[in-house]
């Protein structure tokens, strides 16, 4: 760290990294100093587009660089584990895209390593950092809808099956649950905590990954969450939180919302809007930057124990559907030329 600036490195300059990196202009005390791709040309072109000083043609070079404090890992899910582990072992903090890992065991190992080394690690679950979600949590804590009894959430898209695409390829951790289900499960976990039971219904793609899933999560005292995710259904992306004296609609898309509607029983609905900064990624980037500057090793907004609970639910649901992933232990190796 130089002075009060946290130096960031980007790993995997794909679709999401392209968007996230633009939000750094809204983050104080943070600078993107390097990017790494498995291809030197891709790294250089990303660096040129975003005025990033250094470009590396391998992930390992960035992990070993001594002028980077934290890595933003934006590869497909099964590549998060090996890259994250190597980064922690090199003393670097990590912000890991959702889903945190492809397997529960991978998440457990990564989290244990971060805790053992006392190095900051966080899942990039940007939903939790949206201003209107923070407001929603405050309203619930103040009792605006009484005692929470149930959560509903859906997230569906229509994508054409392509076995080589990250969304469908088994070796890239494809399927609805890890890509979209992680949002609905994380939302329910944020409100209701750790479920006691997980029931699932779903279908599979020709590649063997899950195409869609409906989940019923059961919590202590009979509270519940009903959740949907799909790669083949255009769902609104709406969430609802039901309490004993009202409910809150989190308007689409709930995973990066601007507005909620608070329904207090018997009263007129209250529409509340809070705009995110930038494209909405700036908040999580600020959380990581500030946490590192303050010497914290975990976020209180997106703690590692919550990530672990979410991964446990996803793991149970995938297992019930007969989908089993492995972490890519060769994620740091260079792909064969051509």
Point out which residues bind ligand NAP (CB under 6 A).
12-16, 37-39, 42, 74-77, 79, 97-98, 124, 126, 166, 172, 179, 331
Enumerate the β-bridge partners of residue 213: 202, 229
Please report how close the Cβ of residue 16 comes to ligand NAP at its closest, in angstroms: 4
- 253 SS3 class: coil
**Residue (126 or 219) nearer to ligand NAP, CB:** 126
Please report how close the Cβ of residue 189 comes to ligand NAP at its closest, in angstroms: 17
Q: Give residue number: closest CB to ligand NAP.
A: 14
- Alpha carbon distance, N-terminus to C-terminus of the chain: 38
**Residue (82 or 241) nearer to ligand NAP, CB:** 82
**Residue (42 or 274) nearer to ligand NAP, CB:** 42
Residue 96: closest CA among 116, 117, 78, 112: 78
Alpha-carbon span 112 to 93, nearest angstrom: 14
Please report how close the Cβ of residue 260 comes to ligand NAP at its closest, in angstroms: 20
**Residue (86 or 145) nearer to ligand NAP, CB:** 86
The Cα angle at residue 103 between residues 320 and 250, in degrees rounded to 5 = 75
Pairing of strands 148-156, 239-243: antiparallel
Which residue is it, tokens 């090793």? 297
Alpha-carbon span 259 to 132, nearest angstrom: 6
CB-based contact 19:279 (threshold 8 Å): yes
272: its two tokens: 């509340």
Please report how close the Cβ of residue 44 comes to ligand NAP at its closest, in angstroms: 11
**Residue (137 or 166) nearer to ligand NAP, CB:** 166
**Residue (92 or 98) nearer to ligand NAP, CB:** 98
Please report how close the Cβ of residue 48 comes to ligand NAP at its closest, in angstroms: 14
- CA 24 to chain centroid, in Å, comes to 18
**Residue (13 or 237) nearer to ligand NAP, CB:** 13
Angle, helices 104-117/304-321, rounded to nearest 10 degrees: 160
Please report how close the Cβ of residue 114 comes to ligand NAP at its closest, in angstroms: 18
Please report how close the Cβ of residue 219 comes to ligand NAP at its closest, in angstroms: 26
Please report how close the Cβ of residue 242 comes to ligand NAP at its closest, in angstroms: 26
**Residue (246 or 276) nearer to ligand NAP, CB:** 276
Show the DSSP H helices in the chain as ranges: 15-22, 40-50, 59-64, 80-89, 104-117, 131-141, 176, 182-192, 282-293, 304-321
- 129 SS3 class: helix
């Amino acid at each position: 760290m130089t002075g009060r600036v946290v130096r960031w490195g980007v790993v995997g300059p794909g679709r999401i990294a392209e968007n996230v990196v633009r939000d750094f202009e809204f983050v104080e005390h943070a600078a993107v100093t390097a990017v790494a791709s498995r291809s030197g040309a891709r790294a250089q072109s990303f660096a040129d587009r975003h005025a990033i000083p250094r470009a590396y043609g391998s992930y390992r070079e960035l992990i070993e660089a001594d002028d980077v404090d934290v890595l933003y890992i934006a590869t497909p899910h099964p590549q998060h584990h090996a890259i994250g582990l190597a980064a922690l072992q090199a003393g670097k903090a990590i912000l890991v895209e959702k889903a945190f890992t492809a397997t529960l065991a991978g998440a457990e190992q990564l989290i244990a390593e971060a805790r053992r080394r006392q190095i900051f690690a966080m899942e990039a679950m940007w939903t939790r950092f949206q201003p209107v979600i923070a407001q929603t949590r405050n309203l619930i804590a103040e009792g605006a809808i009484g005692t929470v009894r149930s959560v509903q959430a859906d997230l569906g898209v229509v994508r054409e099956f392509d076995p080589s695409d990250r969304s469908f390829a088994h070796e890239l951790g494809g399927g609805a649950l890890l890509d979209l289900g992680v949002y609905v499960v994380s939302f329910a976990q944020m409100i209701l905590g750790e479920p006691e039971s997980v029931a699932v219904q779903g279908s599979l793609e020709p590649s063997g990954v899950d195409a869609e899933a409906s989940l019923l999560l059961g919590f202590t005292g009979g509270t519940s969450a009903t959740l949907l995710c799909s790669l083949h259904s255009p769902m609104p992306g709406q969430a609802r939180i039901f309490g004993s004296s009202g409910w809150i609609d989190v308007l689409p898309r709930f995973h990066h919302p601007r507005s909620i509607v608070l329904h207090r029983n018997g009263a007129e609905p209250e529409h509340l809007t809070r705009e995110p900064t930038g494209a909405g990624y700036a908040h999580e980037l600020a959380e990581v930057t500030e946490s590192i500057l303050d010497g914290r090793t975990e976020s209180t907004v997106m703690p590692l124990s919550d990530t672990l609970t979410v991964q446990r639910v996803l793991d149970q649901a995938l297992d019930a559907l007969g989908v089993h992933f492995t972490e890519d232990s060769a994620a740091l190796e260079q792909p064969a030329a051509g």
